[in-house]
Every structure is written in C-alpha cells, then in structure tokens.
C-alpha cells in the first residue's frame, strides 16, 4: 500500500431529514457504489463476499436487508457474487434469515461441507508450519470483506481482520492452530503446583477460565474467557506454579494478522474491498450465538480499499463514542471505567492484555495497509438537512389504494 493516507468512507446512522435520500440505507448504497467503481471487476468474475453469518440464537449480525442491497449492486458489475463462511454457520444461516432467496446469491461453505476443500498456506509461526485456507476463496476472483464490528474475547475486537483470519480457514486450522497459538507459552508448572493447588486456582477464577485435567496433571486457561483480573496470580503467591504471560495474548493477535494476510495474498489487491458495519456493537463476538446488549451506540458504516485503515477508523470511532455503561453485562466484574486512563472501550471490557489495535499494528508491519487515513463522510446530516424533500408517499411499490 502507499505511504499516503488511505480513504475511508463513512455513512452515519444519524440523518438530517426523514427522507430516503438521507437514510442509512442510502449511505450504504453510496459507499458500495464508490468501492465497486474503484474495483476492476470483469464480466463473469466470481466474487466472494466473506461474512460472519452468526450461530444459534444470535441476531445481531449484518441485517439481510443490507446484504441484499450490496449483492444487487455487485450483480450490476457483471460478476457472480456468492456469500461464504464456515460450514456450520452456512448450514444454519437460514435460522437467522440468510438464504439464497433473501440475500440474492448462493451461500457456500468456505472449506466445503466437510471442511476438506482447502489449500495449504505457509506461515511458520510459533511451531505452526501451515494453515488450511478455504478452497472457495482460492477459487474466487474478487473479495469483499463484509464485517460486523463488535468486541471479541480473544483479541478484544472482531472486524475485517478477524472475519478473514478465522472465518476463511478450516475448523482444524481455526481451533487447533490459530486459537491454540496462545498455549505455546507454558503457564503451569506441575512440579510446583499440586492437584489441590490447581483445584484452588480453578475454583478461584471469577470467570471460569481455568480447567484442571487430573489425568495429565495440567492446568488449562481459556484465553477467550480470561479478563486478566490476576486472581490466579494472587492465589498462587508463594507457590509460583502459574503464569499469565502477556506474550500469549499477543501471539493470538499476531497470528490473526498473519492468517488474514495469507488470505489477501491470494487476491489482486485491486480486486478487494472492505465494508464494516458499526451497528449492534456488542461486547463479544457473534460466534457465541446469543443476543447481547449493545455496549456502544450505533455509529454507521465504513468502506475502504485498505484493511488497516478501515480497522483503525472503526476502532477510533468506537473509542470516540464510548461505552454505554448501563449496558455492560453484570458478569464482567473487572471493567476498567477509570476515565483518567486513555484506553479503548474494548480493552476496558476484555482486560489490559487485549488491545484491539494490536493485530492492526502487526498487519501494518506486514504492509497490509496504513493506519493513516482520511475519513470522508458522505450524505452528512448537515448536507441532507438542506436538501428538498420530495412528496412523500407512504404506500409504494406497489400501492393498492
């Protein structure tokens, strides 16, 4: 990417007038139109639209209403779009309203129905040699990374990078390599800690993030559920059997930057763009499959040709908006609400070792893009407030009056 500022287009959920031309949908349409004009799509190009379709009872993913509008705009280029995600998410997508009929294009599992349609990509990171990239993405000519911005237990934030870094790979790569990288650093010494001590640590964790396997005398930490409250270290004082290495959290951030970059390397950079929806912003990922109270007010939609720029802008806007304190889940017992500390809302929720900008910094070092961006707001409330409103008809397309 160029060292110059990258353009990030922004459409706010706020409007200046009760009119279709000022609506949030109109802003999504405009940003999509601009990015499609900047993307050289050839007739019959296969266009992969990578989404997170959610799981189970989750309902806060990108609404089908917007997905269909984006698909219809893509079709006008002459290319053939399809939506892709993990096999489980695709199989159950109908429960959340995503079908070929509602979205307007096929929905295809990224690694095949049995997670076996893959191609290896070399990473050589912390003892892991390769990852299995979903073959469907390898087959595509164009990539649209369509993401829902929200918090994430493992890395603080899930957006455009996380959407590709995890959702573009087979289940074994996701769970036994990408997530497993946090366990490379040893954090339990069985020679210092007895089984009784391990059970004490497990019982003392306020988030249930520790598990002890007596058969192999090993303590396991669920890094997703760990909020670095340091209760385990307090209980371990004078014993020294357990550690909480910062590097274990950082390793996951670097791993997702690497895995995301490997996806992007399979495409011509000119044939990729990104859309982030900053709506229904929850503390945890859509992976959890349950509704959650939004912890940040709806902000809008962002679009860019630069993944690092759009991710930086997304986090900056969320930081500016701040947390809805009344919506913070009561089970999060160690949320840092000290206003004197300049930390991101997601770090306040997830803990000091989960900096949402960290994966972005790794990505920038890998030349995936630049964190320097120009935010270009389209159809601003100020602009649309002065526009003439056409005669309003409430029952249209068709009317039966």
Is there a domain that residue 266 lies in? yes
Other Cβ atoms closer than 10 A to 126: 17
Confidence of residue 283 (pLDDT cuts 50, 70, 90): very high
* Whether residues 155 and 168 fall in one domain: yes
Beta strand 210-213 pairing with 156-158: unpaired
Report pLDDT digits (tens) over 43-87.
999 999 999 999 999 999 999 999 999 999 999 999 999 999 999
Residue of 60, 58, 175 whose CA lies nearest to 111: 175
Count up the domains in the chain and report the number.
Answer: 2
Cα dihedral: 361, 364, 370, 373 (round 10): -20
Taking the whole predicted model, whether its pTM rises above 0.85 is answered as yes
* Whether residues 240 and 377 fall in one domain: no
* Whether residues 60 and 193 fall in one domain: no
Q: Is the pLDDT of residue 255 over 90?
A: yes
Mean pLDDT across the stretch 121-134? 98
Is there a domain that residue 396 lies in? no
Given a contact cutoff of 8 angstroms between Cβ atoms, the answer to whether 210 and 232 are in contact is: yes
* Whether residues 226 and 327 fall in one domain: no
Is there a domain that residue 276 lies in? yes
Is there a domain that residue 33 lies in? yes
* Whether residues 195 and 344 fall in one domain: no
Mean pLDDT across the stretch 186-210? 98
Residue of 276, 378, 304 whose CA lies nearest to 11: 378
> How far is residue 193's CA from residue 188's CA, in Å, rounded to a whole number?
8
* Higher-confidence position of 31 and 390: 31
* Residues ≥6 apart with Cβ < 8 Å to 385: 16, 17, 22
* Whether residues 192 and 73 fall in one domain: no
Is there a domain that residue 1 lies in? no
Q: Of 197, 228, 244, which one is at a domain's C-terminal end?
A: 244
Given a contact cutoff of 8 angstroms between Cβ atoms, the answer to whether 48 and 140 are in contact is: yes
Beta-bridge mates of residue 210 = 221
Is there a domain that residue 391 lies in? no
Q: Of 244, 263, 278, which one is at a domain's C-terminal end?
A: 244
* Whether residues 229 and 261 fall in one domain: no
Residue of 241, 225, 88 whose CA lies nearest to 166: 88
* Whether residues 11 and 131 fall in one domain: yes
Q: Is the pLDDT of residue 3 over 70?
A: no
* Whether residues 26 and 73 fall in one domain: yes
* Whether residues 125 and 89 fall in one domain: yes
Task: Kindly report the CATH number assigned to the domain that includes residue 232.
Answer: 3.30.70.20
Residue of 264, 270, 307, 275 whose CA lies nearest to 133: 264
Mean pLDDT of the chain: 97
Mean pLDDT across the stretch 382-400? 81
Domain residues for the domain of 234 are 186-244
Is there a domain that residue 394 lies in? no
Q: Of 244, 263, 283, which one is at a domain's C-terminal end?
A: 244
Beta-bridge mates of residue 158 = 150
* Whether residues 197 and 65 fall in one domain: no
> How far is residue 209's CA from residue 239's CA, in Å, rounded to a whole number?
20
Is there a domain that residue 380 lies in? yes
The pLDDT of residue 321: 98
> How far is residue 165's CA from residue 158's CA, in Å, rounded to a whole number?
10
Report CA 32 to chain centroid distance, whole Å: 19
The pLDDT of residue 393: 58
* Whether residues 19 and 76 fall in one domain: yes
The pLDDT of residue 76: 98
Confidence of residue 396 (pLDDT cuts 50, 70, 90): confident
Report pLDDT digits (tens) over 205-216.
999 999 999 999
Q: At what angle do helices 358-365 and 307-321 cross, to 10 degrees?
A: 160
Confidence of residue 303 (pLDDT cuts 50, 70, 90): very high
Task: Kindly report the CATH number assigned to the domain that includes residue 295.
Answer: 3.40.50
Q: Is the pLDDT of residue 1 over 60?
A: no
Q: Is the pLDDT of residue 401 over 90?
A: no
Mean pLDDT across the stretch 338-355? 97
* Residues ≥6 apart with Cβ < 8 Å to 77: 36, 41, 45, 47
């Amino acid at each position: 990417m160029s060292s110059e500022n990258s353009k990030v287009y922004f459409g706010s959920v706020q409007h200046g007038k009760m009119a279709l031309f000022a609506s949030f949908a109109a802003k999504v349409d405009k940003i999509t139109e601009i990015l499609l004009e900047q993307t050289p799509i050839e007739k019959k190009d296969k266009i992969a639209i990578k989404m997170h379709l959610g799981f189970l009872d989750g309902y806060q993913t990108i609404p089908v209403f917007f997905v269909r509008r984006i698909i219809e705009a893509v079709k006008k280029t002459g290319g053939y779009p399809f939506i892709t995600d993990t096999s489980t998410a695709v199989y159950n997508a109908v429960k959340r309203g995503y079908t070929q009929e509602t979205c307007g294009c096929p929905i295809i599992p990224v690694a095949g129905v049995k997670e076996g349609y893959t191609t290896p990509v070399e990473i050589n990171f912390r003892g892991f040699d390769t990852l299995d990239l979903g073959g469907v993405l390898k087959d595509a000519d164009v990539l649209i990374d369509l993401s829902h911005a929200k918090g994430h237990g493992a890395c603080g934030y899930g957006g455009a990078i996380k959407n590709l870094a995890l959702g573009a790979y087979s289940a074994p790569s996701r769970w036994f390599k990408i997530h497993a990288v946090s366990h490379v650093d040893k954090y339990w010494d069985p020679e210092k800690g007895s089984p009784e001590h391990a059970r004490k640590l497990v019982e003392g964790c306020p988030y249930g993030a520790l598990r002890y396997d007596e058969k192999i005398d090993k303590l396991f930490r669920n890094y997703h559920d760990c909020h670095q409250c340091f209760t385990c270290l307090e209980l371990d004082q004078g014993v020294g059997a357990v550690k909480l290495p910062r590097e274990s959290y950082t390793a996951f951030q670097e791993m997702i930057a690497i895995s995301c970059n490997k996806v992007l390397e399979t495409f011509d950079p000119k044939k990729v763009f990104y859309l982030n929806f900053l709506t229904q912003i929850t503390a945890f990922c859509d992976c959890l499959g349950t509704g959650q109270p939004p912890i940040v007010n709806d902000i809008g939609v962002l679009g860019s040709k630069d993944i690092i720029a759009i991710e930086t802008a997304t986090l900056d806007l969320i930081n500016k908006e701040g947390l809805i304190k009344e919506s913070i889940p009561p089970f999060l017992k160690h949320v840092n609400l000290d206003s004197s500390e300049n930390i991101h809302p997601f770090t306040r929720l997830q803990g000091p070792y989960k900096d949402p900008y960290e994966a972005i910094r790794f990505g920038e070092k890998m030349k995936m893009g630049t964190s320097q961006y120009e935010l270009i707001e389209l159809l601003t409330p100020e602009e649309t407030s002065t526009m003439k409103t056409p005669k309003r008809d409430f029952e249209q397309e068709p009317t039966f009056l």
